C-alpha cells in the first residue's frame, strides 16, 4: 500500500532539480500512506513528474522501490495497491516468452512486464487486486491513470491553471494536489450539496471545482497533444450485475454454498500473502467472522484479530467478537474506548479524510485501525458482504413499504403526507405521550412527530427509486441549504443504468455497490487505516467473488426473511450459529447525544450565525432552526448536523493550512460552473 502524486504540463519549475523539489512537496503531504521510503522521477522536457511514497508489503528490498521503469524502458509507473495474482501473471508471461529478467518479487514489476507484453488495458483485465496507478508511456508521451474495479484505492485528477500555465495534477489524496502552486482551491458547491445529501461526495465529483475522482473500473489517458481526459471502462459493475441476473446459478442451494466457500477461501488465501505481519478486523458479525474463519482455516498459527468495544451496551459488539475469536482460536486484541477517547479523534478528521466526509462510523473505524497498527501492517476486512449478499435491513424494509404504499393512489398519498406534515412535530409528540399510557411498550416511540414528518416524504415517493433515495438521504433538499448550490446528477438522482432484469431489492443492492460502497465504506476504511500506515484488504471484493455473488438467485441470498443466507451457511461450517444470530448493530457512535453534551460548545462555534453569514456556504436560518430543535430534543437532526459540522471543521482546517493564495475560494463558483458527469466509454469484457 502506498501513495502517489504527480503532474503533467507547464510549470514555473523547468530544471530537473526544481521538478523534484515540487514533487517531493506533493508526496510529503501523504507520507503516512508510505512511510518506508519516497521516490521521484521526472522528465522536464515533456513536463511529466511521478512521485511515490512506499509502505513496503511485498518484496521489502530496494528492487520494489518506485517510480519503476519497465524492462523495455517504455513505461514508468507509480503504483498504489496489491495485485494478488501477480505470480500467476508472471507464469503467463514466462510461458509466452514475454517475461524480462526479473529484478525482484514485486507486483509492480509484474504489472510493467504486462504493460510491455499486453498493453495497459490487457494487463489490468488480467489483474486481481486493488490498485490505483499513474503510468507514463515514453513512446507515445501519454499518461494513463487506472483504478481497481470496485474502487478500493483512491485517485484524484484534474487540470488547474490557465493557458500556458495549465497543469494536469493527479494523486492519491487531495492534499497532494493542493501542495502544487497552481492548485486553485475553488469549492464546488454542487459537490457540497451531494455531501449534505449522502454524507459523502460520490465519484466523479470532488469538493474542488475542476478536480475529479477517477471512477472505479476505469482507465484515463491524457497528453499535452490531447489534453481532454479520455475515460475507458475496462470492467463494469452494472454490466456484470445485469449479466449475472440474466444467467443465474443453476445448481442447488447446497452447491451454491460450496462454490461460494471455495471462491472465498481462494480470495482470502491470496490476500493473506505478505512479507509483514498480518491480521483482521473482527466485529463478531457475519461478514468479518467469515473472513477470519477462512483465514484461520488456512493459517498454521493463530490469526491476529482486533475489535473495539464501547462501555455503552447499545453500541458494543466487543463481547460478540471475543466469543467468535475464542471459538476460532485467534490471537485476539480488544480495546474498550471511552467517549473521551472517541471525541479526541474529531480534530483529526478534516486532515484524515481530506475532503468533507460525515459518516460518523469514521470514528470507531479509525480507532480499530489505530489498534491494529500497533501489532500488524496489513489487516483484512469484512466490508462488502451486505452489498453483495443482501445484508442491509433497509432492502427488505423499502421493498415491503413500497409494495404497501404503491397500492394507494398517488393523490391520496400526497393528501396523507400533507396532513402529517401539517401538524407540528411537537403536537404529534404530545399526542404520542398521551396515547403511550394505554399502548403496550412495543408500540411506544420516542420523537413520534419527527418520525411521522420523515415518513410523510416516504409516503409521497412516486417510485421505489425515489423512496430509496429518500432513505439514503440526510438533507432531502440540499440545494435549499447550500447557498448558490445546484445539486448535480448522480447514479442515485437520474443517471442510474437501466438494470434490466433486476427486481426492486436487486436495484437497491446494485446502486449501493456502485455508490455507497466505494464512496462511503471504502473511503472511510482507506483514509482511517492509511492515516496510521495500515494496509487494509477486502476479500469480498475479489471481482470473481463479486461476479459470482450476482449470479446467485435472490432466494439464496434472502431466504425466509433471513439475509445473507448463503454466506451464513459458509460461516456456520466454522462457527456455531448461536454465536452469530443476533440483531445487526452497525458500527455507530452516539453522535446525537454528544452534540447536546460534550460537543455542544464545539458545535455552537462552528454553527454560529455570524460565522455562517460571513462564510456564505449555508442558509443560517434553516440551519440554526435545526440546531435549536436538536438541542431541545424536539427533533433528532444528528446526521444533518454532522454533515454540516464536518464541512465546517474541514473548511476551518483548510483556511489554517492554506492561508493567502491557497485559502479556499468561497465566491468564484457559480451553479452553472458545476462540472458535468463524465461520459465513460465502455469497450471490454
CA distance 477 to 313: 35
Out of 2, 42, 193, 390, the active site residue is 2
Please name the residue that has the C-alpha cell 485501525: 369
CA distance 456 to 143: 51
Listed residue (647, 649, 603) closest to 626, CA to CA: 603
Pairing of strands 218-222, 230-233: antiparallel
**Distant-in-sequence, close-in-space partners of 408: CB < 8 Å, separation ≥ 6:** 416
How many CB atoms are closer than 10 A to CB 314?
8
Is position 2 annotated as part of the catalytic site? yes
How many CB atoms are closer than 10 A to CB 78?
31
3-state SS class at 460: coil
| Alpha carbon separation from 425 to 322, 373, 431, 636 (Å, rounded) | 42, 46, 10, 11
CA distance 570 to 265: 10
588, β-bridge pairs: none
Listed residue (610, 540, 667) closest to 130, CA to CA: 540
Q: What are phi and psi of 572, to 5 degrees?
A: -70, -10
With 0-12 / 13-18 / 19 or more C-beta atoms within 10 angstroms meaning exposed / middle / buried, residue 339 is middle
DSSP code per residue over 396-412: HHHHHHHHHHTTS-HHH
CA distance 156 to 507: 28
Q: Are 12 and 40 in contact (CB under 8 A)?
A: no
CA distance 162 to 33: 31
With 0-12 / 13-18 / 19 or more C-beta atoms within 10 angstroms meaning exposed / middle / buried, residue 562 is exposed
Q: What are phi and psi of 306, to 5 degrees?
A: -140, 135
| Alpha carbon separation from 577 to 88, 231, 323, 381 (Å, rounded) | 37, 46, 12, 21
The grid coordinates of residue 30 equal 501523504
DSSP state of 469: H
Q: Are 28 and 1 in contact (CB under 8 A)?
A: no
**Distant-in-sequence, close-in-space partners of 412: CB < 8 Å, separation ≥ 6:** none
Q: Are 662 and 476 in contact (CB under 8 A)?
A: no
CA distance 491 to 649: 28
Strands of 378-380's sheet, edge to edge?
A: 331-337, 304-310, 278-281, 378-380, 535-537
**Distant-in-sequence, close-in-space partners of 162: CB < 8 Å, separation ≥ 6:** none
CA distance 580 to 285: 6
CA distance 466 to 35: 45
3-state SS class at 7: strand
- The catalytic site residues sit at 2
Amino acid at each position: 500500500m502506498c501513495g502517489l502524486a504527480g503532474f503533467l504540463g507547464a510549470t514555473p519549475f523547468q530544471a530537473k532539480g526544481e521538478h523534484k523539489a515540487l514533487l517531493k512537496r506533493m508526496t510529503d503531504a501523504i507520507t503516512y500512506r508510505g512511510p518506508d521510503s519516497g521516490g521521484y522521477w521526472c522528465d522536464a522536457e515533456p513536463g511529466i513528474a511521478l512521485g511515490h511514497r512506499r509502505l513496503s508489503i511485498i518484496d521489502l528490498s530496494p528492487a520494489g522501490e518506485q517510480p519503476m521503469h519497465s524492462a523495455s524502458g517504455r513505461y514508468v509507473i507509480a503504483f498504489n495497491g496489491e495485485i494478488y495474482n501477480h505470480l500467476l501473471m508472471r507464469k503467463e508471461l514466462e510461458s509466452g516468452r514475454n517475461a524480462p529478467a526479473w529484478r525482484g518479487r514485486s507486483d509492480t514489476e509484474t504489472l510493467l512486464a504486462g504493460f510491455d507484453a499486453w498493453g495497459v488495458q490487457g494487463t489490468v483485465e488480467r489483474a486481481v487486486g486493488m490498485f490505483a496507478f499513474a503510468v507514463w508511456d515514453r513512446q507515445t508521451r501519454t499518461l494513463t491513470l487506472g483504478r481497481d474495479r470496485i474502487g478500493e484505492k483512491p485517485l484524484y485528477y484534474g487540470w488547474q491553471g490557465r493557458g500556458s500555465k495549465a497543469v494536469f495534477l493527479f494523486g492519491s489524496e487531495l492534499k497532494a494536489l493542493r501542495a502544487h502552486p497552481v492548485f486553485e482551491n475553488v469549492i464546488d458547491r454542487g459537490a457540497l450539496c451531494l455531501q449534505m445529501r449522502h454524507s459523502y461526495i460520490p465519484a466523479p465529483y470532488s469538493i474542488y471545482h475542476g478536480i475529479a475522482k477517477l471512477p472505479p473500473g476505469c482507465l484515463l489517458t491524457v497528453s499535452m497533444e490531447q489534453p481532454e481526459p479520455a475515460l475507458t471502462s475496462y470492467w463494469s459493475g452494472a454490466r456484470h450485475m445485469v449479466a449475472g441476473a440474466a444467467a443465474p446459478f443453476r445448481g442447488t442451494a447446497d452447491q451454491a454454498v460450496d462454490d461460494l466457500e471455495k471462491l472465498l477461501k481462494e480470495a482470502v488465501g491470496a490476500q493473506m500473502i505478505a512479507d509483514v505481519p498480518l491480521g483482521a478486523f473482527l466485529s463478531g458479525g457475519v461478514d468479518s467472522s467469515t473472513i477470519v474463519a477462512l483465514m484461520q482455516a488456512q493459517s498454521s498459527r493463530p490469526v491476529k484479530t482486533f475489535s473495539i468495544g464501547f462501555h455503552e451496551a447499545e453500541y458494543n459488539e466487543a463481547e460478540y467478537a471475543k466469543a467468535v475469536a475464542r471459538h476460532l482460536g485467534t490471537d485476539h486484541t480488544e480495546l474498550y474506548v471511552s467517549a473521551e477517547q472517541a471525541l479526541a479523534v474529531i480534530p483529526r478528521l478534516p486532515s484524515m479524510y481530506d475532503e468533507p466526509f460525515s459518516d460518523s462510523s469514521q470514528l470507531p473505524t479509525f480507532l480499530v485501525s489505530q489498534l491494529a497498527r500497533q501489532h500488524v501492517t496489513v489487516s483484512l476486512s469484512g466490508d462488502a458482504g451486505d452489498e453483495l449478499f443482501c445484508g442491509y435491513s433497509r432492502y427488505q424494509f423499502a421493498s415491503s413499504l413500497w409494495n404497501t404504499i404503491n397500492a394507494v393512489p398517488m393523490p391520496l398519498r400526497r393528501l396523507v403526507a400533507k396532513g402529517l406534515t401539517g401538524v407540528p412535530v411537537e403536537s404529534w409528540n404530545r399526542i404520542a405521550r398521551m396515547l403511550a399510557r394505554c399502548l403496550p411498550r412495543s408500540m411506544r416511540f420516542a420523537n413520534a412527530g419527527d418520525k411521522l414528518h420523515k415518513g410523510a416524504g416516504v409516503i409521497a415517493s412516486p417510485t421505489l427509486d425515489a423512496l430509496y433515495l429518500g432513505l439514503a438521504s440526510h438533507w432531502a433538499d440540499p440545494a435549499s441549504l447550500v447557498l448558490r448550490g445546484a445539486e448535480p446528477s448522480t447514479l442515485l438522482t437520474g443517471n442510474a443504468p437501466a438494470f434490466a432484469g433486476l427486481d426492486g431489492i436487486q436495484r437497491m443492492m446494485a446502486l449501493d455497490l456502485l455508490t455507497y460502497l466505494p464512496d462511503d465504506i471504502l473511503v472511510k476504511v482507506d483514509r482511517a487505516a492509511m492515516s496510521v500506515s495500515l494496509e487494509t484488504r477486502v476479500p469480498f471484493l475479489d471481482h470473481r467473488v463479486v461476479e459470482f455473488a450476482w449470479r446467485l438467485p435472490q432466494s439464496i441470498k434472502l431466504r425466509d426473511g433471513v439475509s445473507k443466507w448463503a454466506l451464513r451457511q459458509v460461516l456456520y461450517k466454522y462457527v456455531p450459529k448461536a454465536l452469530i444470530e443476533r440483531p445487526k448493530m452497525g458500527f455507530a457512535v452516539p453522535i446525537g447525544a454528544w452534540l447536546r453534551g460534550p460537543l455542544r460548545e464545539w458545535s455552537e462555534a462552528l454553527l454560529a450565525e455570524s460565522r455562517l453569514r460571513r462564510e456564505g456556504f449555508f442558509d443560517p436560518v434553516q440551519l440554526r432552526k435545526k440546531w435549536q430543535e436538536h438541542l431541545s430534543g424536539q427533533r433528532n437532526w444528528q446526521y444533518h448536523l454532522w454533515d454540516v459540522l464536518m464541512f465546517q471543521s474541514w473548511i476551518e482546517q483548510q483556511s489554517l493550512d492554506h492561508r493567502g493564495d491557497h485559502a479556499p475560494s468561497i465566491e468564484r463558483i457559480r451553479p452553472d460552473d458545476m462540472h458535468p458527469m463524465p461520459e465513460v466509454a465502455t469497450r471490454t469484457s
